[in-house]
Amino acid sequence: MDSKLTNPVKMKKISMIFLSAALIASLALLTDCSPKGDFTQPELGSRSVKILTKGGYKFKDLNKNGKLDLYEDWRQASEERAADLLSQMTIEEKAGFMIISQINMVQEGNEFTSELNEEDVVARVNMFTGNELSEPVVNVSGTTRGIKERHLLHFILRANAPAKVIAEWSNNVQAVAEDARLGIPAIYASNPRNHIATDNSVGLNVGSSAFTQWPGTLGLAATNDLSLVREFAESAAMEWTAAGIRKGYMYQADLATEPRWNRIEGTFGEDADLVSGIMREIVLGFQGEKSGPHSVVLTTKHFPGAGAEMDGQDAHYDYGKNQVYPGGMMDYHLKPFIAAIEAGTSAIMPYYALPHQTEYEEVGFAFNKGILTGLLREKLGFKGIINSDTGPIDNMPWGVENLSVTERYQKAIEAGVDIFSGSADPSRILETIRSGLVTEARIDESVLRLLKEKFDIGLFENPYVDPVVADSIANNAGFREKADLAFRKSIVLLRNDKSLLPVKPGTKIYFEAFLNSRQSDNPHNVIIPENNEWGVEFVKSPSEADFVILWLTPSSSLFGGRRGGREGSSPGAVPIDLLLSKNMIDVAYVNRIASTKPTAIVVNFSKPFVISEIDRNASTLLATFGTTYSALIDVITGKFNPAGKMPFTIPVSQQAAVDNLEDVPGTLEKEGYALFRSGEGKSY
Kindly give the interhelix angle for 78-88 and 21-28, rounded to the nearest 10 degrees.
Answer: 90
- Quick one: CA dihedral 60, 63, 65, 67, positive or negative? negative
Rounded Cα distance, 152 and 116, in Å: 15
Mean pLDDT of 342-370: 98
> What is each CA distance from 519 to 83, 524, 526, 555, 584, in whole angstroms?
60, 8, 12, 14, 11
Mean pLDDT of 4-23: 38
> What is each CA distance from 371 to 28, 335, 376, 402, 601, in whole angstroms?
37, 15, 6, 21, 44
Whether residue 507 lies inside any domain: the answer is: yes
Instruction: Name the DSSP class of 480.
Output: H
Distance of CA 460 to the CA centre of its chain: 25
Residues forming beta bridges with residue 247, ordered by sequence position: 189, 297
pLDDT at 519 over 60: no
Contacts of residue 37, Cβ cutoff 8 Å, sequence gap at least 6: none
What is the per-residue pLDDT for 206? Answer: 56
19: confidence class by pLDDT, cuts 50, 70, 90: very low
- Region of poorest pLDDT, from 72-81, 438-447, 564-573: 564-573
Distance of CA 93 to the CA centre of its chain: 27
- Per the residue annotation, which of 199, 314, 389, 471 is the catalytic one? 389
Contacts of residue 541, Cβ cutoff 8 Å, sequence gap at least 6: 510, 524
CB 148 within 8 A of CB 186: no
Conformation bin of residue 650: beta by default, left when phi > 0, alpha when psi is -120 to 50: beta
Mean pLDDT of 648-675: 97
- SS3 state at 32: coil
pLDDT at 381 over 80: yes
What is the per-residue pLDDT for 130? Answer: 65
> What is each CA distance from 367 to 303, 461, 514, in whole angstroms?
12, 36, 43
Number of domains present in the structure of the chain = 3
What is the per-residue pLDDT for 121? Answer: 84
557: confidence class by pLDDT, cuts 50, 70, 90: low
**Residue where a domain stops, chosen among 411, 445, 473:** 473
Whether residue 303 lies inside any domain: the answer is: yes
Rounded Cα distance, 511 and 541, in Å: 9
Distance of CA 589 to the CA centre of its chain: 37
Rounded Cα distance, 356 and 364, in Å: 10
- SS3 state at 187: strand
Contacts of residue 236, Cβ cutoff 8 Å, sequence gap at least 6: 193, 194, 211, 212, 214, 285, 286, 296
Whether residue 467 lies inside any domain: the answer is: yes
Question: Comparing 407 with 6, which gets the higher pLDDT?
Answer: 407
Residues forming beta bridges with residue 408, ordered by sequence position: none
Mean pLDDT of the chain: 90
Domain encompassing residue 49: 3-76
What is the per-residue pLDDT for 451? Answer: 98
Distance of CA 201 to the CA centre of its chain: 13
Q: Checking DSSP bridges between strand 354-355 and strand 599-604, what pairing results, if any?
A: unpaired
Whether residue 131 lies inside any domain: the answer is: yes
Contacts of residue 110, Cβ cutoff 8 Å, sequence gap at least 6: none
Mean pLDDT of 436-462: 98
What is the per-residue pLDDT for 562? Answer: 45
Taking only the tens place, the pLDDT of each residue in 465-509 is: 999 999 999 999 999 999 999 999 999 999 999 999 999 999 999
CATH number where 321 lies: 3.20.20.300
> What is each CA distance from 443 to 89, 370, 436, 448, 665, in whole angstroms?
12, 19, 12, 9, 40
What is the per-residue pLDDT for 6? Answer: 38
Instruction: Name the DSSP class of 607.
Output: S
What is the per-residue pLDDT for 108? Answer: 84
Same domain (yes/no): 199, 303: yes
Mean pLDDT of 334-356: 98
389 a catalytic residue: yes
- Quick one: CA dihedral 636, 641, 647, 652, positive or negative? positive
Same domain (yes/no): 72, 93: no
Instruction: Name the DSSP class of 613.
Output: T
Rounded Cα distance, 408 and 438, in Å: 11
* Burial annotation 613-645 (CB, 10 A radius, 16+ → b, else e): bbeebbbbbbbbbbbbebbbbbbbbeebebbbb
Rounded Cα distance, 672 and 684, in Å: 27
Rounded Cα distance, 256 and 260, in Å: 9
Same domain (yes/no): 226, 182: yes
Contacts of residue 198, Cβ cutoff 8 Å, sequence gap at least 6: 216, 265, 515, 553, 555, 556, 604, 606, 626
Same domain (yes/no): 560, 512: yes
CB 383 within 8 A of CB 342: no
660: confidence class by pLDDT, cuts 50, 70, 90: very high
560: confidence class by pLDDT, cuts 50, 70, 90: very low
* N-terminal to C-terminal alpha carbon distance within the chain: 80
Taking only the tens place, the pLDDT of each residue in 275-300 is: 999 999 999 999 999 999 999 999 99
Same domain (yes/no): 535, 605: yes
**Residue where a domain stops, chosen among 422, 447, 473:** 473
Strands (E), 183-245: 187-190
- Region of poorest pLDDT, from 203-217, 365-379, 388-402: 203-217
Rounded Cα distance, 246 and 187, in Å: 6
Same domain (yes/no): 467, 495: no
Taking only the tens place, the pLDDT of each residue in 107-134 is: 888 889 999 999 888 877 665 666 677 7
Rounded Cα distance, 504 and 490, in Å: 23
Alpha-carbon radius of gyration of the chain: 27
Q: What is the pTM of this model?
A: 0.92
Same domain (yes/no): 579, 540: yes
Whether residue 652 lies inside any domain: the answer is: no
207: confidence class by pLDDT, cuts 50, 70, 90: low
Whether residue 639 lies inside any domain: the answer is: yes
| Percentage of the chain lying above the pLDDT 90 cut | 82
- Quick one: CA dihedral 16, 19, 24, 27, positive or negative? negative
What is the per-residue pLDDT for 93? Answer: 98
Whether residue 542 lies inside any domain: the answer is: yes
Identity of residue 478: G
pLDDT at 537 over 80: yes
Same domain (yes/no): 307, 277: yes
- State the DSSP string of 401-461: TTS-HHHHHHHHHHHT--EEES-S-THHHHHHHHTTSS-HHHHHHHHHHHHHHHHHTTTTT
pLDDT at 513 over 60: yes
Q: Maximum CA pair distance of the chain?
A: 99
pLDDT at 563 over 80: no
Rounded Cα distance, 142 and 591, in Å: 54
What is the per-residue pLDDT for 46? Answer: 97
What is the per-residue pLDDT for 197? Answer: 85
pLDDT at 593 over 90: yes
Whether residue 597 lies inside any domain: the answer is: yes
Rounded Cα distance, 539 and 526, in Å: 9
8: confidence class by pLDDT, cuts 50, 70, 90: very low
Same domain (yes/no): 366, 431: yes
Q: Checking DSSP bridges between strand 51-54 and strand 57-60, what pairing results, if any?
A: antiparallel
Mean pLDDT of 76-104: 97
pLDDT at 161 over 70: yes
What is the per-residue pLDDT for 139? Answer: 77
520: confidence class by pLDDT, cuts 50, 70, 90: very low
Same domain (yes/no): 213, 117: yes
pLDDT at 394 over 80: yes
pLDDT at 610 over 70: yes
Mean pLDDT of 386-411: 96
Same domain (yes/no): 465, 510: no
Angle at 268 between CA 333 and CA 388, to 5 degrees: 60
- Region of poorest pLDDT, from 17-31, 44-58, 214-228, 391-405: 17-31
**Residue where a domain stops, chosen among 424, 439, 473:** 473
Residues forming beta bridges with residue 188, ordered by sequence position: 155
429: confidence class by pLDDT, cuts 50, 70, 90: very high
CATH number where 521 lies: 3.40.50.1700
CB 275 within 8 A of CB 268: yes
525: confidence class by pLDDT, cuts 50, 70, 90: confident
Closest CA to 253 of 235, 277, 229: 277
Mean pLDDT of 525-538: 93
Same domain (yes/no): 419, 511: no
